[in-house]
């Protein structure tokens, strides 16, 4: 897998299309940081790190031991059961990185969406990056 962030976004998108309540992903610090931002902003219901899957055998590797996973609870509208997330989009890709300075941070859907930006101060939303006047790599957009 060359792009774990794109894989994560695709798994979330596919799970929402079939109305799943939760998604299980391989663990990485970057993924969990992105997902915690999405949960804090209300796009996801909950994010938790699991050492193993309850009731299922844990994959084992002699060199690595157990694989940690991330469990995501997806958020749906209460009235019509539509997903809160209508579009997840990878902006900066391994073959084409997208960097912005503090003056060119994009407004996603006129401020109704959100971008996740990797900065020197860690991962920030587009609003936080504008407030702190700091640019960085635009990882993904959500709306």
Tens digit of pLDDT for each residue in 58-77?
555 544 446 789 999 999 99
* Cβ contact 92:139 at 8 Å: yes
Same domain, 9 and 65: yes
Domain housing 18: 4-74
**pLDDT band (50, 70, 90) for residue 108:** very high
Q: For residues 86 and 141, give the distance between their C-alpha atoms in angstroms, rounded to a whole number.
A: 11
55: tokens are 């009731």
Can you give the CATH number for the domain in which 34 is found?
Answer: 3.30.1370.30
Same domain, 20 and 70: yes
Same domain, 14 and 68: yes
Distance of CA 67 to the CA centre of its chain: 19
Same domain, 114 and 60: no
pLDDT value at residue 137 = 98
**40: number of CA atoms within 13 Å, CB side?**
12
C-alpha pair distances (Å), 9 with each of 3, 5, 120, 128, 134 = 10, 6, 23, 22, 25
Count the neighbouring beta carbons within 10 Å of the beta carbon of residue 135.
18
pLDDT value at residue 63 = 46
Task: Give yes or no for residue 9 having a pLDDT over 60.
Answer: yes
Same domain, 67 and 9: yes
SS3 percent helix, strand, coil of the chain, rounded to 5, is: 25, 35, 40
Can you give the CATH number for the domain in which 123 is found?
Answer: 3.30.1490.10
Residue that terminates a domain, selected from 74, 109, 128: 74
pLDDT value at residue 55 = 46
């Amino acid at each position: 897998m060359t792009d774990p962030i794109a894989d994560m976004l695709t798994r979330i998108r596919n799970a929402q299309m079939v109305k799943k309540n939760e998604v299980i992903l391989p663990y990485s610090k970057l993924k969990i940081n992105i997902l915690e931002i999405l949960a804090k902003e209300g796009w996801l219901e909950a994010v938790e790190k699991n050492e193993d899957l309850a009731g299922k055998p844990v994959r084992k590797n002699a060199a690595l031991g157990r694989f940690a996973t991330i469990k995501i609870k997806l958020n749906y509208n209460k009235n019509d059961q539509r997903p809160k997330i209508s579009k997840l989009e990878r902006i900066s890709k391994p073959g084409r990185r997208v960097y912005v300075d503090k003056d060119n941070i994009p407004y996603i859907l006129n401020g109704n969406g959100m971008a996740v930006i990797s900065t020197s101060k860690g991962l920030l939303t587009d609003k936080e990056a504008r407030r702190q006047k700091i640019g960085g790599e635009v990882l993904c957009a959500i709306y």
